[in-house]
């Protein structure tokens, strides 16, 4: 059969990770990631298009996510598409796709310390009324060894 199912994303978190510590001891983090592409429409105007992705991280990854990722964090993600299927109350077949994260890497870092902590523009005035993530001052600079976080569940 020989299949390949690979997803590569670079984007920003829409909100802080939602982390659940399961009774089994496993940890799951759910993360929403925006990838935006810009192009010119036929009138030459710049148009932006944002796609929101639902990411699922487990265990070691989830813990790193909990500790270091915040709304606005920019990450590189490698994962695979994974769908859940079920029947809703009306008996209709439903399907939800998620990205099961296999590894991620935090991008950007060095978030402003070297310029004396001066705010970089005023995020409150940017993206007004927007559902989009914003890079804020909360990027970890760590020192911790979590650059590239991998995980290996069997499926």
Partner DNA sequence: TTTT
Q: Enumerate residues 11-70 that contact a second copy by CB under 8 A.
A: 11-12, 14, 34-41, 46-53
Residues binding a second copy: number (CB under 8 A): 76
Closest approach, Cβ 69 to DNA, in A, equals: 12
Closer to DNA by Cβ: residue 61 or 74: 74
Per-residue contact string for residues 89-118; x = within reach of a second copy by CB under 8 A: -x------x-------xxxxxxxxxxx---
Residue 128 CB partners (closer than 8 Å, separation 6+): none
- Cβ of 142: how many Cβ atoms within 10 Å? 13
The binder of 32, among a second copy, DNA, none, by C-beta within 5 to 8 A per type, is DNA
CA angle in degrees (0–180, nearest 5) for 12-79-73: 15
User: Which residue's entry shows tokens 């990770």?
Assistant: 17
**Run of H or E including 150:** strand 148-150
Per-residue contact string for residues 79-108; x = within reach of DNA by CB under 7 A: ------------------------------
User: Which residue's entry shows tokens 């298009």?
Assistant: 49
Report which of 53, 59, 61 is spatially closest to residue 15, judged by C-alpha positions: 53
Check: CB of residue 48 under 8 Å from CB of residue 16.
no
The binder of 22, among DNA, a second copy, none, by C-beta within 5 to 8 A per type, is none
Is residue 133 part of the contact set for a second copy (CB under 8 A)?
yes
Task: Name the one range near a second copy by CB under 8 A: 23-31, 60-68, 123-131.
Answer: 123-131
- Which one of 15, 18, 26, 120 is in contact with a second copy (CB under 8 A)? 120
Cα–Cα distance measured from residue 155 to residue 153, given in angstroms and rounded to the nearest whole number: 5
Residue 61 zone, left/alpha/beta (φ > 0; ψ -120 to 50; rest): alpha
Q: List interacting residues with DNA (CB under 7 A).
A: 1-2, 11-15, 32, 34, 36, 48, 50, 52, 71-72, 74, 109-110, 141-143
């Amino acid at each position: 059969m020989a299949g390949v199912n690979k997803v590569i994303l670079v984007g920003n978190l829409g909100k802080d990770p939602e982390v659940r510590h399961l009774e089994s001891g496993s940890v799951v983090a759910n993360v929403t990631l925006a990838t935006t592409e810009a192009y010119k429409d036929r009138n030459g105007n710049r148009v932006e298009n944002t796609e929101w992705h639902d990411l699922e991280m487990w265990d070691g990854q989830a813990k790193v996510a909990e500790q270091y990722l915040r709304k606005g964090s920019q990450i590189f993600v490698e994962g695979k598409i994974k769908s859940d299927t079920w029947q809703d109350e009306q008996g209709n077949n439903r399907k939800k796709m998620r990205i099961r994260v296999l590894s991620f890497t935090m991008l950007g870092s060095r978030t402003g310390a070297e310029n004396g902590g001066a705010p970089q523009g005023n995020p409150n005035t940017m993206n007004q009324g927007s559902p989009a993530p914003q890079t804020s001052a909360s990027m970890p600079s760590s020192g911790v060894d979590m650059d590239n976080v991998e995980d290996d569940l069997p499926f």
